[in-house]
Structure 1
Amino acid sequence: MRDLLGLDGAFMKGHCHGQILTVVSLDSSNGIYPLAYAIVESEYTTSWKWFLECLGDDLEMGYNSNFTFISDRQKGVIPAIAQLFPNAEYRYCLRHIHENMRKQWKAREYKEFIWRCATATTARSHFTGRAISDVLLNNMCEVLNGKLEKGRDKPIITCLEFIREYLMKRICNVVKDQRKCQGPLTPTATKLLKKNEQQAAEYIARWNGGGKYQVAGPWNDQHVVDIDQMTCTCRKWELTGIPCRHAIATWSRAMWPKSDCPTRIIPPPYHKMPGRPKKKRRQSMEERMSQKEKSSQIESVIASQSQTQGSKEVEMLSRKFGSVTCGKCKQKSHNKRTCKGQGVGQQEGGGANEGHGQE
C-alpha cells in the first residue's frame, strides 16, 4: 500500500439513515486498496475525528505521521485531519474543484486549461514524494462506493456484512492476479517502465563529473537528473517512484549486464570483387527512362531559346546538354582538339577558287 489515503462518504438509501465513511488507498499496481469503513449518523467533524482515530490505531499512525490525504472536501474532514495529523499532506479532488468552477465559468476552455495546469508535473510545487503517486482525483473512493451501492439500501447489520463479503471476494481475486504476474514488477509498473524505455532512446545524456546528468531531447526540452538523490527536474521520478525517460537515458553501457553467451559473433565473409568499387547506386529502368526524357526536354528548350534569343544568350547557357562547336572549322559535334582539318581545307579551297575567279 502507498502512503496515500482517500476519504469519502456516501449516504444510506434505506429506512436506516446515516453515512458510510470509507478509506481507500492504492496498491503497487494502481488498484484500489480498501482499508476501513464505518456507518455514522452524519458527516460532522466529531464523526470524522472518531473514524480517523480508529484508523490511526489500526495503521499505527502517530501524531507526526507523513501520510497524504485526498478527498472532495467533505464536511468536517479537514478540521479532523488538522487536529489528529498536523504534519500530513492534503490534496483536493480536481474533478470537484472543476465542478465548483463551473458555477461561474461554464466554457469548455476553462476545463482544458485547468487540466493542463494540473497534469503538468512542474506545476505541482507543493506535491512531495511521500505518497509516490501523482493521483489528482478521488476516483478510488468513487469506485468503492459504486460497488457498495446495492448494499446501501439494506439495514445496518446487513449492509456491513455486504461490504465485508465484497472485500473478502476482492482480496481473493487480487491474490489470483498476483500469481499470474511474471517478473519483479507489477503489470502496471512494467508497462509504464517499457514506455519510458522506448522514449529514452531519443534523448542524449551528458555527465557533469558527479552524480548529475544533463539530458536533452528532440523537442528542445532539457532536464537535470540526479542519480544519487533519484530525482529529475521533470519531477515524474519523484512523484511516481518509476524512473522517467530522462533518468533511463543516463544509464550507461558500463552498467549493462555482460552476456554469458559462449560463442563469439563475427561478421560474415566478404569476397572482394575486381576493379574499383562503385559508390553510386544502380538506377532502375524507370529512373533511366525518366532521366532521358528530362534531357530531351532540356535540349528542346535550349533549341527553342537559341532560335528566339540569338547566339550570344545561347552561349551563356549551360554546356551540359548543348552541342559542341569547333573553333577551327566552325563545325559541330567535335571540338578544336579533335578537329581533323576537313572544314579548314574546304574553306581554304573555296577561298582559292574565288581568288582565281577574280584574277
Structure 2
Amino acid sequence: MKGPFPRQVLTTVGLDSNNGIYPLAYAIVETENKSSWVWFLQSLGEDLDLGSNSNFTFITNRQKGLIPAIAQLSPCAEHRYCLMHIHQNMRVKWKLKEYKDHLWRCATATTVPEFEHCMKEFSNYDKEACEWLRKIPPKHWARSHFTGRAISDIMLNNLCEVMDKAKGPLTPTATTILDVNKSHASHYIARWNGGEKYQVTGAWQDQHVVDVRNNTCTCRKWELIGIPCKHAIATLYEMTKNSEDVGDIYRWVNKVYWLDTWKNAYSYKVEPIKGRIMWPKSLCPTTLIPPTHHKQPGRPTKKRKKSEDEKLSQSQRGSQSQTGTHGVSQEEGCKVGPDGVQKLTRKYVSVTCAKCKNKGHNSRTCKGQGGRS
C-alpha cells in the first residue's frame, strides 16, 4: 500500500471447480514477515476450521516469511510454488524463450522418469541453469512429485472465468480437457488382462496400465487432475465394445469438476449493508487509533514496479519505434506506435501560459510577463 500509511496486504484465494480464483480473505499488516503470516494463517484457520493436520494444498509465490509460517502451522499441508514466479526469477539471468520451454516441460511431466528425462535435456542445453532449478525441491513445483491430493492441474495464479452460459454436466474447463482427451484416445488400443486392469498402447512407445477400479493410470494424469486421461478413455471405449455398462463418461470425472459443484461454491451471497449513518454504536471499550504516519524516504515513486516480461516487451516495442514500422521513417516531434501509425509527441510543442497568455512557459513558471502576445 502506498501513501502516508504504507502497509502490506496479505490475501488468500481458493481454486474453484473451473480453475478460477475464489476470494477467501485479506488482511492489512505493517510488514510482510513470518509473524504477520503466522497471525494471518492462524486467523484463516479459525475461520475455515483448519487444524495442524489439515491436508490442504497451498500455492504461493514464496513471499518473505510465508514458507516457514506454513511449515509451522500446517506441517501436513502440501506447499506448491507458483511456476510463473519461478520463471520470473529465472529470467533475471536467463531470458531466452528456450529456458521457459525447458522449465514448463520439466514442471508438467507427470512421472518421475519423464521428469528426469526433461531435466537431462535441460542440463544438456544449459547445465548452470539446470543446477539453479534443481536447488528448488521438485515436490514444490514439479507435477511428477505432487501427491495428487489436490485434484487440479493448475500450476500458477490465473484469473477465473464467469459462470455465464455454462451448459452440460461439467464446468467449461473440465469439458474442454475431456474433449481433447477424447480426440487423442482414438489413437490408442486397450487390452484387457482378465481383471480390473487394461494395457493401453499408442504410438512412440506410449504404453500405460489403467486400473478402472481405483481410477488410476500409470501416466498419473487421471490421478493428479481428476479427469480421465486419453489412456483411461480408450479403456472405457474398449469396455463399451465388450458390452460393459460404463455409463456416461462424465461420471468418471471427479465430482469437483461437476457443474453442480461449481454452482454450489457460488450459491452463498454477500448481503448488502446499510449506510454508515445507520450503523449501531459499538460498545467495545477498545479505542481504535489511526496507524502511525511513516514518511517515505526519497522522492515518491509515480510508477509501479514492472516485471521482467513487461520490461522486455517494452524494450522490443521501443526498438520497433526507433527503426520505424512498415517502411515509415520517424520525423522530429513524431513517434511510431506499435500499430505503425505516427503520433505527435509533446516535444517541440509551444506551451501557452494560462495566466498571461504568453507562449514558452506555463502558469507554474509564470512571472507576470504581461498580456497576450
Give the 3-state SS of the residue equivalent to 1:37 in structure 2: strand
Aligned partner of 2:65 in structure 1 is 76
Give the 3-state SS of the residue equivalent to 2:145 in structure 1: coil
Considering only CA atoms, is the larger Rg found in Structure 1 or Structure 2? 1
Give the 3-state SS of the residue equivalent to 2:104 in structure 1: helix
Give the 3-state SS of the residue equivalent to 1:234 in structure 2: coil
Deviates more, 1:91-100 or 1:19-28: 91-100
Alignment match of 2:100 (pick from 98, 111, 121): 111
Does structure 1 retain, via aligned residues, the 8 Å contact 2:151–2:225?
Answer: yes
Does structure 1 retain, via aligned residues, the 8 Å contact 2:109–2:144?
Answer: no
Aligned partner of 1:213 in structure 2 is 198
Deviations 1:205-258 (A, max 9, x none): 011122111101133311111112211111111111011111011111223589
Aligned partner of 2:144 in structure 1 is 125
Does structure 2 retain, via aligned residues, the 8 Å contact 1:225–1:233?
Answer: yes
Alignment match of 2:76 (pick from 75, 80, 87): 87
**Structure 1 unmatched ranges of 5 or more:** 1-11, 144-172, 259-359
Give the 3-state SS of the residue equivalent to 1:66 in structure 2: coil
Alignment match of 2:56 (pick from 58, 62, 67): 67
**Structure 2 unmatched ranges of 5 or more:** 116-142, 248-373
Question: Which AA in structure 2 matches 1:105?
Answer: W
Give the 3-state SS of the residue equivalent to 1:111 in structure 2: helix
Alignment match of 2:222 (pick from 215, 237, 247): 237
Give the 3-state SS of the residue equivalent to 1:24 in structure 2: strand
Aligned partner of 1:27 in structure 2 is 16
Alignment match of 1:137 (pick from 134, 150, 156): 156
User: After TM superposition, where is structure 1 displaced by more than 6 Å over at least 4 residues in a row?
Assistant: none
Question: Which AA in structure 2 matches 1:102?
Answer: R
Counterpart CA distance in 2 for 1:29 and 1:42 is: 33
Q: CA deviation at 1:76?
A: 0.5
Give the 3-state SS of the residue equivalent to 2:175 in structure 1: helix
Give the 3-state SS of the residue equivalent to 1:34 in structure 2: strand
Change (3 A) 1:182 1:106: closer
Change (3 A) 1:193 1:255: farther
Deviations 1:64-110 (A, max 9, x none): 01111111110010111111100111111222222222334344322
Matched, 1:190 2:175: yes
Alignment match of 2:235 (pick from 236, 245, 250): 250
Aligned partner of 2:37 in structure 1 is 48
Counterpart CA distance in 1 for 2:27 and 2:100 is: 35
Question: Which AA in structure 2 matches 1:132?
Answer: I
Matched, 1:181 2:166: yes
Give the 3-state SS of the residue equivalent to 1:22 in structure 2: strand
Does structure 2 retain, via aligned residues, the 8 Å contact 1:128–1:238?
Answer: no
CA root-mean-square deviation: 2.1
Pairs aligned (count): 213
Aligned partner of 1:17 in structure 2 is 6
Q: CA deviation at 1:20?
A: 1.0
Question: Which AA in structure 2 matches 1:47?
Answer: S
Question: Which AA in structure 2 matches 1:128?
Answer: T
Name the TM-score, length of structure 1 as normaliser: 0.56
Does structure 2 retain, via aligned residues, the 8 Å contact 1:215–1:222?
Answer: yes
Does structure 2 retain, via aligned residues, the 8 Å contact 1:68–1:91?
Answer: yes
Does structure 1 retain, via aligned residues, the 8 Å contact 2:21–2:158?
Answer: no
Identical aligned residues as a percent:
67
Give the 3-state SS of the residue equivalent to 1:250 in structure 2: helix
Question: Which AA in structure 2 matches 1:127?
Answer: F
Question: Which AA in structure 1 matches 2:179?
Answer: K
Counterpart CA distance in 1 for 2:189 and 2:46 is: 49
Change (3 A) 1:94 1:250: same
Deviates more, 1:189-198 or 1:249-258: 249-258
Name the TM-score, length of structure 2 as normaliser: 0.54
Does structure 1 retain, via aligned residues, the 8 Å contact 2:181–2:233?
Answer: yes
